[in-house]
Chain A
Amino acid sequence: MPRHSRISLRPRSPRWRTASVWPQRSPISQPARMLVVFFSDVGTRCSCCQVGVWIEAGSRYEDTKTNGAAFFMEHMAFKGTKKRPGSAFEKEVESLGAHLNGYTSREQTAFYIKALSKDMPKVVELLSDLVQNCALEDSQIEKERGVILQELKEMDSNLADVTFDYLHATAYQGTSLAHTVEGTTENIKRLTRADLASYVDIHFKAPRMVLAAAGGISHRELVDAAKQHFTGAPLTHKGDSVPTLKHCRFTGSEIRARDDALPLAHIALAVEGPGWADPDNVVLNVANAIIGRYDRTFGGGTNQSSKLATLAVKHNLCHSFEPFNTSYSDTGLFGFHFVSDPLSVDDMMFCAQGEWMRLCTSTTESEVTRAKNYLRNAMVAQLDGTTRVCENIGSHLLHYGRRIPLEEWDARISVGIRLFWLGYLSTVGVSIVWP
C-alpha cells in the first residue's frame, strides 16, 4: 500500500506554448520537453492554496549503491538552498504561515507548500528554489545521517509498512523495485554530497517535473509565476541520457520474518497486477471494494457487507484485513494485507484466497453494484480539500499523462465488469512478519 496518498490537479494551459502533451500510456519512455503546469479551479473564494512540485524520481530509479539517495535528498531539501542557507528557508516558509512538506515514494517525489492564496507567487519562488538550488551542505549531510538512521529504527516499529517493504523486496527481488525508499543503513552512512548532487542532476529536470496547484488562485497568475521562476530549470540531461525505467520482473516467492516477541502476525499476499495506465485497474478496484475491509472496531458483528469480513468475525480469523492495489508504471501488486493471531494465519489465508476464487465465479449483481458505488464515492471523496486535489493532479500527470476527470472515472466504472481475471492470480508473492 502506498505510504502516501497521491492527489494532483492540473488543467491544460494552451498559452504555455512549449508545454507538450505527455504520451498517454507510457510517460516514462518519452522525454517531454518542458515543465508542465496545471491548476485546478477549486473556487476563487478559497483563501488558501496548495502548490507543489511532483518529480518523477524515487527509489525505483536508484541502484544498490545509491539506494536511499531520494530519501536523503528529501531530508536535505528542507535544510537550506544556495539563496537561503541553513534554516533561512524554513524560517521564510514559516513566516508566511505556510506548511512545507514532502514525500518520497518508489516512483515519485513531491514537495508542496500549503499557504494563503495571496502568497502564491512567493510559494512558487520558494519551490523553484528548493528543487533547483538545494544547498547540500556537508555539515548538514553529516547531521542528517544520524537523523535518518534514527528514523529507520522508528519505522521498524510500523509493522504494516515493514510487511509491505518485505513484500516488495521478495516480489521484485533482483530489481530496483525491491529497494526500500529509505535505503539501507550502509548506504545512509556512505552517501556523499557528490552522490546526492548527481542524483539531483539526473532526476530534477524540467521534463520530469510537474508543478501542480489547487486553491483560490488564478491560472494566469500561476503560469506567470512559473514562467518567472522555473525558466531556468534544467532541460537536458548530460550526454542526452534520459533515465528510463527497466521493467521489473515479478517473482512468485515468499519471505517470512519471524520474531517471537510480536503478539500478532502481519501478512501481505499479492499477485502481479497491471500498471497505472491499464484499464484493468478499475476492475481490480471494484474487486477490492467487493472484498471490503474489516477491523475489530467495526460494529456490525457477523452482519458485514463483505463476505470475507463475515467469515473473519464468525471464526475469529483476524484482527483486521484490507485489500490493496498498488500500481507502478508498468507493473503493480494486487493483494490483501491482514493482521491476525499467529494460530489463525492459515485459516485466514485460506478464506481470503477462497474469496478471490469466489470473485472469479460467483459474484452477485448487487455486490458489484454496491462496489461500484463505493468506488465512485471514494473517488469523489478523494478530492476533498486543496491538498488532496493538488496531490491528485500531480500524481495523475505523472502516471497517466493527463488528469482523468471524474466523469471519465464514472464512465469507466459503469462499464459492465467482465469476468474477474483469473489470469492475474497465477504467480503469488507473499510476505509474512510473524511471531
Chain B
Amino acid sequence: MLSVAARAGPFAPFVSAAAHAVPGPLRPLAPAAAHRDRKVPLDLKRPLLCRESLSGRAARGGLVASASLNAPASVRCVHNDVAVPDFSAYRRQDVQDASASSQGSSDSRKGFSYLMTAATGVATAYVAKNVVTQFISSLSASADVLALSKIEIKLSDIPEGKNMAFKWRGKPLFVRHRTQAEISQEAGVDVSQLRDPQHDLDRVKKPEWVILVGVCTHLGCVPIANAGDFGGYYCPCHGSHYDASGRIRKGPAPLNLEVPFYQFIGDDTVVVG
C-alpha cells in the first residue's frame, strides 16, 4: 500500500512553493513553547501561500506536502510524480524480472503459499490442541491421587501359606502365597461343578500367587482368610465359602472373588491396578 502524506494545513505558514518549482527543505518548526512566547510576525507583503490561497490558482484543492525530521521535505504537485517504491527486496525469485510474465510462475507461487499456510495451520492446530488439553487436564486428578489407584506389593514379605490384606482403592486386597499342595488341589477341581466355572489357571498369572479383591460377591462383606470348608476364605455375614483360588463353593454368593488387573515387575514386585 502506498499512502500519500498529510495535507499542508499545519505547515502552511512554513511551506513556500513557487508555481512550478519544488522548494528546498522546510524551515525548522518552532517548538510549541517558543511559539507561545514569541509571536511569528506576519509579513503582509509576502503572499501567504496556504491551502486556501493556492486553491484559487490550482486546479484542485491545495498542495500536498510531506515533512520529515531527517529527509528533505517535498511538495508534490501532481499525481504523475507519485512513484511506487521498488519492492524487489520483498519479491520472490520468480517475479524479480520486470520483463518476464508473472503468469507462468503464479501456480508455483500460489502452491507454495497455500502449502505453507496449510502446514502452519496444522502445526498451530496441534499446538493449540496441546495447550488447551494441558490446561484442561490440569483440572483432572493430580498425580498423587492417580498414584493411589495403584499399589506396589513386595512379594518377599509374604511367606508361603500366608494371605496378606492391603487397602487398595478403598477396598481390601488379598495377596496369597499358595503352597504347592493348594495349587494342585485347586487345579484338580472339576470346573463343571462350580457355580461360577473358572479354572484356577485362568485366575492367576503365576500359580503360587493369587491376588483377589477381598469383597464378598454376595453383599459386600470382607471374607476371613484361611477359614471355611474349602481351605480358602469364609464370609461370616451370610456363610459363603470360597476356595484357595477365590472361587465360590458354598453359600449365597453368586460369583467368584474378583481378580484385579496386576503385573509382575521383576521377581519380587507386583503392581496391582
Q: A residues within 8 Å of B by Cβ? A: 146, 149, 152-157, 162, 165-166, 169-170, 173-175, 178, 180, 182-186, 189, 246-251, 253-261, 272, 331, 426-427
Contacts and interface: CB of A to CB of B under 8 A. Distances in A.
B59 A175 contact: no
Contacts of B83: 169, 184
A183 B79 CA distance: 10
A153 B7 contact: no
Nearest to A178: B84
B7 A260 contact: yes
B78 A155 contact: yes
B82 A169 contact: yes
Contacts of B103: 250, 272
Interface stretch (B42-50, B94-102, B153-161): B94-102
B61 to A, nearest CB: 5
Nearest to B87: A173
B4 interface: yes
A185 B84 contact: no
B79 A156 contact: yes
A421 to B, nearest CB: 12
A156 B82 CA distance: 12
A256 B1 contact: yes
B20 A149 contact: yes
Nearest to A172: B98
A175 B79 contact: no
B99 A156 contact: no
Interface in B233-272: none
B100 A247 contact: yes
Interface of B: 1-4, 7, 20, 22, 58-61, 77-84, 86-88, 95, 97-103, 106, 110
7 contacts: A185-B78, A248-B99, A249-B97, A255-B2, A256-B3, A257-B82, A427-B106
Contacts of A180: 79-80
A426 B110 contact: yes
A180 B81 CA distance: 9
Contacts of A258: 3-4
Contacts of B58: 153
A183 B7 CA distance: 23
A337 to B, nearest CB: 16
A247 B79 contact: no
A258 B22 CA distance: 22
Contacts of B81: 184-186
Nearest to B76: A185
B52 to A, nearest CB: 12
Nearest to A246: B99
Contacts of B7: 260-261
| Residue with the highest number of chain A CB atoms closer than 10 Å, among B20, B78, B86 | B78
B59 A153 contact: yes
A155 B22 CA distance: 19
Given A165-B79, A249-B95, 6 more contacts: A165-B80, A174-B88, A174-B98, A249-B98, A257-B82, A261-B7
A189 B22 CA distance: 11
B108 to A, nearest CB: 12
Contacts of B77: 149, 152-153, 156, 185
Nearest to A432: B1
A166 B82 contact: yes
A182 B110 CA distance: 36
A156 B95 contact: no
Contacts of B84: 169-170, 173-174, 178, 253, 255
A331 B99 CA distance: 12
A354 B102 CA distance: 25
Contacts of A184: 80-81, 83
Given A152-B77, A257-B79, A260-B7, A250 B59 contact: no
Contacts of A152: 77-78, 80
A166 B79 contact: yes
Nearest to B61: A261
Nearest to B84: A173
A259 B61 contact: yes
A30 to B, nearest CB: 18
A182 B106 contact: no
B79 to A, nearest CB: 5
A178 B88 CA distance: 15
B60 A156 contact: yes
